[in-house]
């Protein structure tokens, strides 16, 4: 959801408070749902709105005038809350869930299984290729093989010269 759309939704919820019909728990549930999406489930904004009520608790000692005043303050309190939410959205933006990588989705058992198989496997592969390409005996044999090839090619050239010399000397 885009930031502008979120701000429009909160302004719409604020406008709903103008009507006495909307000052009930349905408005609170709907607004809490939006706030949860905009700020996250663990935000202070969601905590506040999910506990918000348009009712007041009174006792026998409270006057009816006090009760009316407290009830009249509830929509005003909700409007101030929505104004603060809009300002926070404009400053911070929408809440984004942190992305999960491959390892965070694995259970601990699966992770240890992968590690216990992968580490020895990689070490074995490294030792195999290391021995194959850097074995002393192989290197020595290659060097000896090369020197023998070189000496054979020198012998071949010298035998060819000798034959050529013999054929040239025969009349």
Q: Residue 87's pLDDT is what?
A: 92
pLDDT lower than 50: segments of the chain:
none
Which residues, other chains included, contact 52 with Cβ-Cβ below 8 Å and sequence gap of 6+? 28, 32, 78, 81
Q: Residue 166's pLDDT is what?
A: 61
Domain hosting residue 20, numbered range = 3-92
Asked which of 41, 69, 92 is the last residue of a domain, the reply is 92
CB-CB contact of 28 with 52 (8 Å)? yes
Q: State pTM to two decimals.
A: 0.55
CB-CB contact of 81 with 49 (8 Å)? yes
Q: Residue 135's pLDDT is what?
A: 66
Question: Is residue 67 one of the residues assigned to a domain?
Answer: yes
Q: Residue 8's pLDDT is what?
A: 92
49 with 119, same domain: the answer is no
CA distance 66 to 58: 9
Question: Is residue 99 one of the residues assigned to a domain?
Answer: no
151 with 112, same domain: the answer is yes
The 3-state secondary structure of 22-75, one letter per residue:
HCCHHHHHHHHHHHHHHHCCCCHHHHHHHCCCCCCCCCCCCCHHHHHHHHHHHH
């Amino acid at each position: 959801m885009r930031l502008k759309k979120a701000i429009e939704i909160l302004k719409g919820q604020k406008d709903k408070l103008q009507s006495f019909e909307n000052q009930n728990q349905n408005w609170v549930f709907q607004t809490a749902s939006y706030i949860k999406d905009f700020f996250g489930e663990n935000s202070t904004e969601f905590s506040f709105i999910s506990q918000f009520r348009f009712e007041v608790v009174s006792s026998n000692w409270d006057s009816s005038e006090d009760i009316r005043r407290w009830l009249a303050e509830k929509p005003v309190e909700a409007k101030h809350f929505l104004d603060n939410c809009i300002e926070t959205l404009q400053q911070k933006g929408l809440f984004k869930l942190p992305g999960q990588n491959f390892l965070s989705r694995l259970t601990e058992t699966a992770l240890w299984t992968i590690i216990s198989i992968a580490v020895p496997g990689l070490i074995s592969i490294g030792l195999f290729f290391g021995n194959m390409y850097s074995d002393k005996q192989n290197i020595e044999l290659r060097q000896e093989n090369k020197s023998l090839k070189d000496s054979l090619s020198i012998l071949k050239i010298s035998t060819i010269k000798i034959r050529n010399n013999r054929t040239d000397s025969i009349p």
